[in-house]
């Protein structure tokens, strides 16, 4: 069997790496298809893999499975299309939108699986398998040295990570940008991680913060920041669940869905007290985060890649696409135009 990873965003590399490592160990035949933007920033270590940059190469490879850590895939590539998701954004309706590109959805946990099984009743052409989200394996098995030392953070500082979503209806940066610079304590160091699509005007206030107090993390992968930090501040971003994989406290600001999953505050004036509360007793809300992870991604055993590969092995690509899969012409055309192939 041949496996093709369809990569349209650089941050997807951190998602697929646990499965790539497992495939390497088992001698499985796989390749990556990346667009020009990803290729230009592709780490040198990844370039030793079989990497395609054109549709022609991908089609010639004749994959049996196309693994998609995103919402769209070029239908012209042969093989069964499997969505492995680009995050744990279960609060967002888009996470549950069936776009009719994929033949199977590999879900992260019961909360997601239940929704997709319900949609499968209406669209029986696709399969659903609960495997866990691959990036969690990578977070748990991160092999870096002392993350604070690597990030040049003084060892005596408490580390606060602020990682908001970019969606205008959900993000917190426009309200917290004027507050955060004034509440940073002397014994703290702050890390800021912004999505590529975050408007520059919302990032600008954080660029002016004294570098002795904090800085913006510009690398695509946030994993090292998760390990370095004591507390996460977010809103409705899926990074909340990535941080929970490490069993650490989270503060959310005006979360628009599932606010019970964290210490949710509704006013910016409450932020400083919430941080102090989490630092003083990191275990206080342990039950809440455990319950949230049990719903969204209960698999914290490092075995998600194995479950993903087993799920693929259980599906015969020759049986797909099944009858009833919509032609989906408009979205297919849009995807073709975006790739410029």
Question: Are residues 281 and 312 both part of a single domain?
Answer: no
Closest CA to 237 of 308, 290, 162: 162
Question: What was the pLDDT predicted at 201?
Answer: 86
Nearest one of 199, 187, 216, 150 to 280, comparing CA atoms: 187
Residues 50 and 180 in one domain: no
For residue 135, what is the domain's CATH number? 3.40.50.2000
Into how many domains does the chain fold?
2
Question: Order of strands, edge to edge, in the sheet holding 65-68?
Answer: 51-52, 29-34, 2-7, 65-68, 80-83, 104-107, 127-130
- Domain containing 31 equals 2-139+302-339
Question: CA-to-CA distance for 93 and 107, rounded, in angstroms?
Answer: 15
Residues 23 and 49 in one domain: yes
Neighbouring CB atoms inside 10 A of 301's CB total 12
* Cis peptide bond upstream of 135, omega within 30: no
Residues 202 and 42: their CA atoms lie apart, in Å, by 27
The answer to whether residues 81 and 156 belong to one domain is no
pLDDT at 341: 42
Q: Do 135 and 146 lie in a common domain? A: no
Burial of 189 from C-beta contacts in 10 A (0-12 / 13-18 / 19+): buried
Sign of CA dihedral 49, 28, 69, 253: negative
- Residue 252 CA to residue 313 CA, distance in Å, equals 39
153: left (phi over 0), alpha (psi -120 to 50) or beta: beta
Looking at the structure, do residues 37 and 6 belong to the same domain, yes or no?
A: yes
pLDDT tens digits for the chain (341 residues)? 999 999 999 999 999 999 999 999 999 999 999 999 999 999 988 888 999 999 999 999 999 999 999 999 999 999 999 999 999 999 888 899 999 999 999 999 999 999 999 999 999 999 999 999 999 999 999 988 899 999 999 999 999 999 998 766 556 888 998 999 999 999 999 999 998 778 888 888 999 999 999 999 999 899 999 999 999 999 988 999 999 999 999 999 998 888 899 999 999 999 999 999 999 999 999 999 999 999 999 999 999 999 999 999 999 999 999 998 988 766 767 677 665 44
Statement to judge: residues 163 and 220 lie in one domain: yes
CB count, 10 Å around CB of 53?
A: 16
Residue 93 is predicted with a pLDDT of 87
pLDDT for position 143: 86
Could you give the CA distance from residue 170 to residue 167 in angstroms, rounded to a whole number?
Answer: 5
The CATH code of the domain that includes 205 is 3.40.50.12580
**How many angstroms separate the CA atoms of 341 and 297, rounded?**
36
134 vs 34: CA distance, rounded Å: 19
The per-residue DSSP string of 146-185 comes to: -HHHHTT--TTSEEEEE-----TTT--HHHHTTTGGGT--
Q: How far is CA 118 from the centre of its chain?
A: 23
291 with 325, same domain: the answer is no
Looking at the fold, whether 46 and 163 belong to one and the same domain comes out as: no
DSSP for 23-54, written as a single string? HHHHT-EEEEEE-HHHHHH--GGGGGS-EE-S
Number of H helices, E strands in the chain: 14, 13
Separation between Cα atoms, residue 304 and residue 110, nearest integer Å:
14
The answer on 288 and 160 residing in a single domain is yes
Question: What is each CA distance from 144 to 100, 163, 229, 235, in whole angstroms?
Answer: 39, 21, 14, 27
For residues 130 and 273, state if they share a domain: no
Phi-psi group of 258: left, alpha or beta (phi > 0 → left; psi -120 to 50 → alpha; rest → beta): left
Give the per-residue pLDDT at 329: 64
Q: For residues 251 and 239, give the distance between their C-alpha atoms in angstroms, rounded to a whole number.
A: 12
pTM for the model? 0.94
258 and 214 assigned to the same domain: yes
Q: How many CA atoms lie within 13 A of 13 on its CB side?
A: 22
């Amino acid at each position: 069997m041949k496996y093709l990873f369809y990569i349209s965003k650089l941050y997807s590399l951190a998602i697929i790496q646990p499965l790539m490592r497992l495939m390497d160990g088992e001698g499985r035949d796989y390749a990556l298809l990346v667009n020009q933007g990803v290729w230009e920033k592709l780490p040198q270590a990844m370039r030793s893999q079989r990497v395609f940059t054109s549709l022609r190469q991908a089609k010639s490879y004749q994959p049996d499975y196309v693994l998609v850590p995103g919402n769209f895939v070029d239908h012209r590539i042969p093989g069964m299309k499997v969505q492995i998701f680009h995050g744990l954004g279960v609060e967002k309706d888009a996470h549950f939108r069936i776009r009719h590109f994929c033949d199977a959805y590999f879900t992260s946990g019961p909360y997601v699986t239940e929704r997709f099984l319900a949609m499968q009743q209406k669209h029986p052409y696709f399969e659903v398998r609960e495997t866990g989200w691959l990036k969690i394996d990578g977070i748990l098995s991160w092999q870096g040295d002392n993350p604070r030392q690597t990030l040049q953070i003084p060892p005596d500082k408490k580390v606060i990570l602020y990682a908001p979503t970019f969606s205008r209806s959900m993000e917190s940066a426009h309200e917290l940008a004027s507050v955060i610079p004034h509440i940073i304590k002397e014994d703290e160091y702050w890390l800021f991680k912004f999505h590529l699509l975050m408007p520059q005007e919302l990032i600008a206030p954080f660029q002016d913060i004294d570098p002795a107090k904090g800085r913006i993390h510009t690398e695509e992968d946030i994993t090292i920041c998760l390990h370095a930090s004591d507390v996460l501040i977010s809103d409705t971003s899926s990074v909340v669940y990535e941080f929970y994989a490490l069993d650490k406290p989270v503060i959310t600001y005006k979360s628009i869905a599932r606010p019970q999953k964290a210490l949710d505050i509704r006013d910016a004036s409450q932020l400083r007290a919430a941080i102090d509360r989490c630092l003083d007793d990191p275990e206080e809300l342990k039950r809440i985060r455990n319950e949230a992870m049990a719903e969204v991604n209960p698999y914290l055993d490092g075995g998600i890649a194995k479950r993903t590969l087993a799920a693929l092995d259980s599906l015969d690509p020759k049986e797909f696409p099944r009858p009833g899969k919509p032609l989906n012409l408009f979205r297919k055309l849009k995807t073709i135009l975006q790739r410029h192939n």
